[in-house]
Amino acid sequence: MATLKKPYEISLWTEKLVKNGKKLEEKGLIIGAHDMNYLGRATNVVLRKLINGTNILSFDMPDSFFDSLRGDFVRNEFIDELFSERKLKLFYDGDWYEFFIKKINEKEVFKTVIKSFTCYDAFIDELSRNGYGITFDEELYNNVEEAGTFTEIVLEDSIWEYHPELNWGDFSEF
């Protein structure tokens, strides 16, 4: 578990379906960055890389903060855009990581509420969503096939691709 010390950016993203059934992603608000000065930005940003290859992103944001120019507390304009299952991306160390917000906790600190967000890898969610609609059955004549064909069926309509040239194992039946 390490706090991000290299340049980073956390941004909110939306997906739209276009004519040919593909998804088009659009970048929305940037809610945190290494060089951001806005007092309502994401703070205490931690990216955890687990042994199983998944990632967990956590960060805090104030519900409101004290604006010294106004001399009063101001509502954080980002906070209403963050809710459960919201998609966000982290750009860190030259790579993009996709997450969904899964947990939101609140704690009162002085005169404001600090919300803590925990986000999990998006690819796990995407694959599980696609997997629920697939049925392999003898009656459908789709249960005996090469691993590559199964993989292409499972990954259909997802952002993932199958590259058989990268296979290095021998899956022959003996």
Q: What is the pTM of this model?
A: 0.66
68-116: pLDDT as tens digits: 888 888 998 999 999 988 999 999 988 999 999 999 999 988 888 899 9
Kindly give, in sequence order, each residue whose CB lies less than 8 Å from that of residue 106, ignoring residues fewer than 6 positions away: 63, 113, 114, 115, 116
5-30: pLDDT as tens digits: 789 999 999 888 777 767 788 899 99
